[in-house]
Amino acid sequence: MAVTNFNRFCILVFAFISFSTLAAVLPEDRVDAMYHSYDGGGMSIDGPSILIRKKVSNAVSVSANYYVDSVSSASIDVLATASPYKEKRDEQSLGVDYLNEKTIFSLGYSQSQENDYDAKSYKLAVSQSFFGDLSTLSLSYAQGDDVVKQNGNELFEEEVKRSNYAVSWSQIATKNWTVDVNLEAITEQGYLNNPYRSYRYRDDSAALGYSYATEIYPETRTSNAVALRSRYFLPVNGALYGELRFFSDTWGISASNYKLGYSQALYDNWLIDFHVRHYAQTKADFYQDMFERKDQFNFMARDKEMSTFNDLTIGLKARYLHTFDRSSLIKSASVNIAWDHVRFDYDDFRNVLQTENPGEEGFYSYSANVVRAFVSLWY
């Protein structure tokens, strides 16, 4: 099953090697080979990824990506009700971009497989530049079709359908300042919880004073997000950038994300980046650390991702870029490494591995390290 904390990093896993441009231009021909690693909270996730982009004409560019997650989990959720486990996820994706004057049309398809989860998604996007390429409007729609399974239960199979709508406006405000505004809406329907997650309820007959039962989630969810991103280029070959993002959904969760960073070019070949990010969210309406009895409400959850929590990230990135002479098959190459240290603090999710005073255990917290190392080749 997907890991929510880790997914927040994977959504933009190539953010450090990709770039956005306001003008309608096809992506450059390039190859990116990456290794990623997440380690924290009793969970280790790592694996390789390779991305290839190639123009097949002046108007068409194609891309292909292969991504692997190898998961070894002994997280607090697992240890509370089960044994540590290992699993592997493989993801493949294909994309096509078509350029027509100042408009780019994009199509994408991706699929991933785990031993208990299959996912497919389709994406359509269009972007149009205006006002001498100073402004760009982008629209996208994505449809996801997932199948949820459960190890050890061959009869269990549920479906999830997702629709994602997004619109963004990118603006060159001045010669040194750019601004992006993004709006996103997601609708989900089907089996939206994790079949391995359980809620706990008071049970005087149990040794610890409580027992567990499988979580029950609503079968629909709608979420909305708005983000504002800005970058200001300084005369010292540096750039200051920031991001504000706000999220809410029909489950009662509200979240905010703040990010501030600085990038500095050094000696023509080096780029150093430092950033700080803070994320905070409120709990879902049907979340509790401990319920009074089994089946107390129609919907009941104890997944820590549904609780009230915040995380603080400090990150560093470094890139070395080398340009080859014109006769070389490879135009340029870069070596990149990125590291994030994240501290998670939960306000109403207790550490059940503490066996004293059930229901009054200390609140859970942990730290994680995320590492990405990759090589990019332009040809």
Predicted pLDDT at 134: 93
Residue 179 lies in a domain: yes
**DSSP structure string for 350-362:** E-TTS-SSTT-PP
Distance between CA 97 and CA 54 in Å, rounded? 10
Counting as low any pLDDT under 70, the low residues of the chain are 1-23
Single out the residue of 326, 346, 190, 352 nearest to residue 281, CA to CA: 346
User: Domain span at residue 258?
Assistant: 75-80+92-378
Predicted pLDDT at 268: 84
Distance between CA 38 and CA 46 in Å, rounded? 6
The domain tally of the chain equals: 1
- Kindly state the greatest CA–CA separation across the chain: 78
Residue 34 lies in a domain: no
Answer yes or no: are the C-beta atoms of 360 and 23 closer than 8 Å.
no
Residue 64 lies in a domain: no
Predicted pLDDT at 204: 93
DSSP annotation of 37: E
Distance between CA 216 and CA 197 in Å, rounded? 9
Residue 40 lies in a domain: no
Residue 118 lies in a domain: yes
CATH of the domain at 242: 2.40.160
Residue 307 lies in a domain: yes
Distance between CA 2 and CA 22 in Å, rounded? 33
pLDDT, tens digit, 9 for 90 and up, residues 240-271: 999 999 999 999 999 999 999 999 999 889 99
Answer yes or no: are the C-beta atoms of 213 and 195 closer than 8 Å.
no
**DSSP structure string for 74-112:** --HHHHHHS--EEEEEEEEEEEEEEEETTEEEEEEEEEE
Residue 309 lies in a domain: yes
* Phi, psi angle pair for 22, to nearest 5°: -75, -30
Answer yes or no: are the C-beta atoms of 335 and 314 closer than 8 Å.
no
Residue 67 lies in a domain: no
Predicted pLDDT at 23: 60
- Say how far residue 7 (Cα) sits from the centre of its chain: 4
DSSP annotation of 282: P
- Say how far residue 36 (Cα) sits from the centre of its chain: 13
Predicted pLDDT at 81: 87
* Run of H or E residues at 365: strand 363-378
